[in-house]
Amino acid sequence: MRGNAPTLPRSVLVALVLALVAGACREHILFDELGTCATDPDCVLASMHCSSGQCVACTADAHCTAPGLPRCDLALHRCVECGVAADCGSGRVCYQRRCATPCTPGCPATAPICDDVCQVCDDQTQCKTSPAGHLCIEHVCGQCANDTACAGATPHCDLVAHRCVECQKNADCPMARPLCDVGAGTCAALP
Protein backbone atom coordinates (compact mmCIF):
# COMPACT_ATOMS: atom_id res chain seq x y z
CA MET A 1 0.00 0.00 0.00
CA ARG A 2 1.34 3.40 -1.00
CA GLY A 3 1.23 6.27 1.41
CA ASN A 4 0.52 9.87 0.62
CA ALA A 5 4.18 10.66 -0.03
CA PRO A 6 4.70 12.33 -3.40
CA THR A 7 6.57 10.29 -5.99
CA LEU A 8 9.42 11.81 -7.90
CA PRO A 9 9.68 11.50 -11.63
CA ARG A 10 12.22 8.92 -12.82
CA SER A 11 14.47 11.62 -14.33
CA VAL A 12 14.72 13.38 -10.95
CA LEU A 13 15.58 10.10 -9.19
CA VAL A 14 18.29 9.35 -11.77
CA ALA A 15 19.72 12.85 -11.32
CA LEU A 16 19.80 12.41 -7.52
CA VAL A 17 21.56 9.03 -7.80
CA LEU A 18 24.11 10.45 -10.23
CA ALA A 19 24.75 13.39 -7.89
CA LEU A 20 25.35 11.01 -4.97
CA VAL A 21 27.67 8.84 -7.05
CA ALA A 22 29.58 11.89 -8.27
CA GLY A 23 29.94 13.10 -4.68
CA ALA A 24 31.19 9.70 -3.56
CA CYS A 25 33.65 9.62 -6.47
CA ARG A 26 34.91 13.09 -5.59
CA GLU A 27 35.66 11.92 -2.07
CA HIS A 28 37.61 9.01 -3.55
CA ILE A 29 39.49 11.34 -5.89
CA LEU A 30 40.29 13.63 -2.97
CA PHE A 31 41.68 10.67 -1.04
CA ASP A 32 43.84 9.69 -4.01
CA GLU A 33 45.09 13.26 -4.36
CA LEU A 34 46.50 13.42 -0.82
CA GLY A 35 49.97 12.60 -2.16
CA THR A 36 49.99 15.17 -4.97
CA CYS A 37 51.24 18.71 -4.58
CA ALA A 38 52.44 21.94 -6.16
CA THR A 39 54.23 23.29 -3.06
CA ASP A 40 55.26 21.89 0.36
CA PRO A 41 52.09 23.08 2.19
CA ASP A 42 50.00 20.96 -0.23
CA CYS A 43 51.52 17.85 1.38
CA VAL A 44 49.48 18.46 4.57
CA LEU A 45 52.04 16.71 6.82
CA ALA A 46 54.85 19.06 7.83
CA SER A 47 57.31 16.17 7.53
CA MET A 48 56.60 15.79 3.79
CA HIS A 49 57.88 17.98 0.95
CA CYS A 50 56.82 18.54 -2.65
CA SER A 51 58.94 17.24 -5.51
CA SER A 52 57.67 17.00 -9.10
CA GLY A 53 54.04 16.92 -7.95
CA GLN A 54 54.52 14.18 -5.32
CA CYS A 55 54.86 14.42 -1.54
CA VAL A 56 58.19 12.92 -0.44
CA ALA A 57 60.26 12.69 2.75
CA CYS A 58 62.93 15.18 1.62
CA THR A 59 64.12 17.38 -1.21
CA ALA A 60 67.10 18.94 0.59
CA ASP A 61 69.49 18.11 3.45
CA ALA A 62 67.70 20.71 5.60
CA HIS A 63 64.70 18.34 5.73
CA CYS A 64 66.80 15.59 7.32
CA THR A 65 66.79 16.18 11.07
CA ALA A 66 66.76 12.62 12.46
CA PRO A 67 69.99 11.65 14.24
CA GLY A 68 72.35 9.69 11.97
CA LEU A 69 70.44 10.53 8.75
CA PRO A 70 71.62 14.04 7.80
CA ARG A 71 71.61 13.80 3.99
CA CYS A 72 68.75 13.77 1.48
CA ASP A 73 69.24 11.20 -1.28
CA LEU A 74 67.62 13.05 -4.18
CA ALA A 75 67.04 9.86 -6.17
CA LEU A 76 65.11 8.22 -3.30
CA HIS A 77 63.86 11.43 -1.63
CA ARG A 78 64.75 9.82 1.69
CA CYS A 79 67.12 10.84 4.46
CA VAL A 80 70.28 8.73 4.53
CA GLU A 81 73.56 8.56 6.43
CA CYS A 82 75.77 9.92 3.65
CA GLY A 83 76.01 11.12 0.08
CA VAL A 84 79.79 11.53 -0.23
CA ALA A 85 82.86 10.37 1.73
CA ALA A 86 83.21 13.80 3.38
CA ASP A 87 79.93 13.08 5.24
CA CYS A 88 81.56 10.13 7.01
CA GLY A 89 84.63 11.55 8.68
CA SER A 90 88.29 10.66 8.51
CA GLY A 91 89.21 7.26 7.11
CA ARG A 92 85.64 6.28 6.18
CA VAL A 93 83.81 6.18 2.86
CA CYS A 94 80.19 6.49 1.76
CA TYR A 95 79.03 3.12 0.44
CA GLN A 96 75.38 2.49 -0.55
CA ARG A 97 74.19 5.56 1.41
CA ARG A 98 75.96 4.35 4.60
CA CYS A 99 79.32 5.29 6.11
CA ALA A 100 81.75 2.37 5.98
CA THR A 101 85.33 1.51 6.81
CA PRO A 102 87.67 0.47 3.99
CA CYS A 103 88.94 -3.12 4.36
CA THR A 104 92.58 -2.08 4.72
CA PRO A 105 94.27 -2.33 7.14
CA GLY A 106 91.54 -4.64 8.52
CA CYS A 107 87.89 -4.72 9.54
CA PRO A 108 86.60 -4.02 13.07
CA ALA A 109 84.60 -6.59 15.04
CA THR A 110 81.39 -4.60 14.42
CA ALA A 111 81.78 -5.07 10.63
CA PRO A 112 84.09 -8.08 10.23
CA ILE A 113 83.36 -9.00 6.58
CA CYS A 114 85.41 -7.50 3.76
CA ASP A 115 83.35 -7.06 0.58
CA ASP A 116 84.46 -3.80 -1.11
CA VAL A 117 84.29 -2.22 2.37
CA CYS A 118 83.92 -3.67 5.87
CA GLN A 119 80.40 -5.07 6.16
CA VAL A 120 78.25 -6.35 9.03
CA CYS A 121 77.10 -9.54 7.31
CA ASP A 122 77.20 -11.66 4.19
CA ASP A 123 74.59 -14.24 5.21
CA GLN A 124 71.86 -14.69 7.84
CA THR A 125 74.29 -16.20 10.39
CA GLN A 126 75.76 -12.85 11.44
CA CYS A 127 72.29 -11.33 12.01
CA LYS A 128 70.73 -14.01 14.23
CA THR A 129 71.06 -11.90 17.38
CA SER A 130 71.04 -8.41 15.84
CA PRO A 131 68.50 -5.95 17.30
CA ALA A 132 68.18 -4.44 13.79
CA GLY A 133 66.75 -7.69 12.42
CA HIS A 134 67.67 -11.28 11.62
CA LEU A 135 68.04 -10.90 7.83
CA CYS A 136 71.22 -9.90 5.99
CA ILE A 137 70.20 -7.37 3.32
CA GLU A 138 72.82 -5.43 1.35
CA HIS A 139 75.43 -6.44 3.98
CA VAL A 140 73.49 -4.98 6.92
CA CYS A 141 71.08 -6.65 9.33
CA GLY A 142 67.44 -5.74 8.89
CA GLN A 143 63.87 -6.94 9.37
CA CYS A 144 62.79 -7.28 5.75
CA ALA A 145 63.65 -7.25 2.06
CA ASN A 146 59.98 -7.17 0.99
CA ASP A 147 56.45 -7.15 2.46
CA THR A 148 56.36 -10.94 2.97
CA ALA A 149 58.57 -10.63 6.07
CA CYS A 150 56.20 -8.09 7.66
CA ALA A 151 52.80 -8.57 9.33
CA GLY A 152 50.34 -7.22 11.89
CA ALA A 153 50.45 -3.48 12.57
CA THR A 154 53.58 -3.11 10.40
CA PRO A 155 52.75 -5.07 7.21
CA HIS A 156 54.98 -3.15 4.75
CA CYS A 157 58.75 -3.22 4.21
CA ASP A 158 60.62 0.08 4.08
CA LEU A 159 63.13 -0.84 1.36
CA VAL A 160 65.51 1.95 2.37
CA ALA A 161 65.74 1.16 6.10
CA HIS A 162 64.87 -2.56 5.75
CA ARG A 163 62.37 -2.41 8.60
CA CYS A 164 58.69 -3.27 8.84
CA VAL A 165 56.44 -0.20 8.89
CA GLU A 166 52.76 0.68 8.85
CA CYS A 167 52.87 2.30 5.39
CA GLN A 168 54.96 3.23 2.39
CA LYS A 169 52.26 5.20 0.52
CA ASN A 170 48.87 6.78 1.28
CA ALA A 171 47.01 3.78 -0.15
CA ASP A 172 48.47 1.66 2.70
CA CYS A 173 46.64 3.76 5.31
CA PRO A 174 43.08 3.47 6.67
CA MET A 175 40.49 6.18 5.93
CA ALA A 176 40.69 7.50 9.52
CA ARG A 177 44.45 8.17 9.07
CA PRO A 178 44.88 8.52 5.28
CA LEU A 179 48.33 10.15 5.14
CA CYS A 180 51.55 8.12 5.06
CA ASP A 181 54.58 9.81 6.58
CA VAL A 182 57.06 7.88 4.42
CA GLY A 183 60.13 8.78 6.48
CA ALA A 184 58.56 7.48 9.69
CA GLY A 185 56.51 4.74 8.00
CA THR A 186 53.39 5.67 9.95
CA CYS A 187 49.86 6.72 9.00
CA ALA A 188 48.52 10.07 10.17
CA ALA A 189 45.11 11.73 10.30
CA LEU A 190 44.27 14.83 8.34
CA PRO A 191 45.13 17.89 10.47
CA gap 1, 87 in Å, rounded? 81
Looking at residue 114, the DSSP 8-state letter turns out to be E
Mean pLDDT of 48-59: 93
Residue 155 belongs to some domain of the structure: yes
pLDDT tens digits for 72-93? 999 999 999 999 999 998 889 9
The better pLDDT of the pair 11, 53 is held by 53
What's the pLDDT at 191? 81
HSE of 101 in the Cβ direction (CA atoms, 13 Å)?
15
Q: Both 75 and 124 in a single domain?
A: no
pTM attached to this predicted model: 0.71
Residue 100 belongs to some domain of the structure: no
pLDDT tens digits for 119-134? 999 887 889 889 999 9
Of 60, 80, 100, the residue that ends a domain is: 80
Residue 165 belongs to some domain of the structure: yes
What domain range is 66 assigned to? 14-80
pLDDT tens digits for 160-181? 889 999 999 999 999 999 999 9
β-bridge pairing 179-181 and 135-137: unpaired
Q: Both 74 and 130 in a single domain?
A: no
Number of domains within the chain? 2
Q: What residues contact residue 151 under an 8 Å CB cut-off, 6+ apart?
A: 164
How buried is 46 (Cβ within 10 angstroms: 0-12 exposed, 13-18 middle, 19+ buried)?
Answer: exposed
In the chain, pLDDT over 70 holds for what percent of residues? Answer: 82
Does the structure show a pLDDT above 90 at 104?
no
Of 23, 50, 80, the residue that ends a domain is: 80
Nearest-CA neighbor of 114 among 83, 139, 77?
139
Residue 170 belongs to some domain of the structure: yes
Cβ 183 vs Cβ 47: under 8 Å: yes
Q: Both 136 and 189 in a single domain?
A: yes
Of 30, 57, 80, the residue that ends a domain is: 80
Residue 8 belongs to some domain of the structure: no
Q: Both 72 and 126 in a single domain?
A: no
Does the structure show a pLDDT above 50 at 13?
no
Residue 9 belongs to some domain of the structure: no
How buried is 67 (Cβ within 10 angstroms: 0-12 exposed, 13-18 middle, 19+ buried)?
Answer: exposed
Residue 183 belongs to some domain of the structure: yes
pLDDT tens digits for 139-159? 889 999 999 999 999 999 998
Residue 108 belongs to some domain of the structure: no
Q: What angle do CA 77, 156, 81 make, to 5 degrees?
A: 35
Q: Both 124 and 67 in a single domain?
A: no
CA gap 176, 134 in Å, rounded? 33
